[in-house]
Chains A and B, each alone.
Chain A
Amino acid sequence: MAVQGWHQTPLPSVATKLLTKSLLLPGVGKTSLVVRYIGKMFSKHISPTIGASFFTCNINLDDARIKLQVWDTAGQERFRSMAPMYYRNANAALLVYDITSANSFASIKGWVKELQNNVPEPMILSLVGNKSDLEDNRAVTQSEAVQYAASIGAAYCETSALHDQGIDQVFLNTATELLNLSSSSLVASLRSYDSTDYDEKLPIGIPSEEKATHTGKIELPAWTGDVKHGELQRSMCC
Chain B
Amino acid sequence: MASTSKDHVAENEEALNEKVATDLEPGACLESILNPTDSFEEFASEISTSLEDRKTSLTIKSSTISEIQNEIGDSSKESSLRETKSSDNLQAKNESMSASASNSNLLEENEEESDEKDDYLQSPELVNKEKHVFILSSAGKPIYSRYGNEDKLAGLCGVIQALVSVVEEPNQDILRSINTKDCKAVFLVKGPLILVTVSKSNESETQLVLQLTYAFNQIVSVLTLTQLNRIFEQRRNYDLRRLLSGAERLIDHLFIFMEKDPAFLLGAVRCLPLPEKARENITQAITSTCNKIRDLVFAIMIAGNQLITLVRMKKYTLHPSDIHLLFNLVRSSESFKTAESWTPICLPKFDATGFLHGHVSYISEDCQACLLLLTVQRDAFFPLSQAKHTIAEKLRRSNCLVAINDALNRNKELPTTNPLKHIGIPEIRHFMYKCKSTAQLFTSDPISLDRLQDYRLRHKEGGDITVKKIEKLSDIDYVRNYRQFCNQIHCISTPAKLIFRSNSHDTVLAWVTNGFELYVTFDPLMEKDHAIRAVDRLLHWIKKEEQRIFIMNAPTF
Contacts and interface: CB of A to CB of B under 8 A. Distances in A.
A52 B335 contact: no
Contact of A224 (B82, B245, B385): B82
A216 B379 CA distance: 13
A217 B381 CA distance: 10
Give the secondary structure class of B's interface: helix
A146 interface: no
Contacts of A216: 381-383, 385-386, 389
Give the secondary structure class of A's interface: mixed
Contact of A49 (B96, B222, B244, B335): B335
Q: Interface size for chain B: under 10, 10 to 19, 20 to 34, or 35 or more residues? A: 35 or more
Contact of B96 (A72, A77, A223): A77
B132 interface: no
Contact of B339 (A26, A72, A226): A72
Contacts of B488: none
B245 A81 contact: no
B284 interface: no
A155 interface: no
Given A26-B246, A80-B93, A85-B379, A50 B341 contact: yes
B379 A224 contact: yes
Contact of A77 (B89, B242, B341, B358): B242
A199 to B, nearest CB: 12
Contacts of A52: 341-343
A76 to B, nearest CB: 5
A43 B88 CA distance: 35
Interface in A21-46: 26, 31, 35, 39, 43, 45-46
Nearest to B382: A216
Given A79-B90, A217-B382, A220-B382, A54 B340 contact: yes
B378 A226 contact: no
A53 B333 CA distance: 12
Interface in B292-343: 329, 332-336, 338-343
B265 interface: no
Interface of A: 26, 31, 35, 39, 43, 45-55, 72, 74, 76-82, 85, 213-214, 216-217, 219-220, 223-227
22 contacts: A31-B338, A46-B338, A47-B333, A48-B335, A49-B341, A50-B343, A51-B344, A52-B341, A54-B381, A74-B246, A76-B243, A76-B245, A76-B246, A77-B245, A80-B90, A80-B93, A80-B96, A213-B385, A214-B386, A216-B381, A217-B386, A225-B382
The 4 A-B pairs at the shortest CB distance, nearest first, are namely: A51-B343, A48-B246, A216-B382, A81-B93
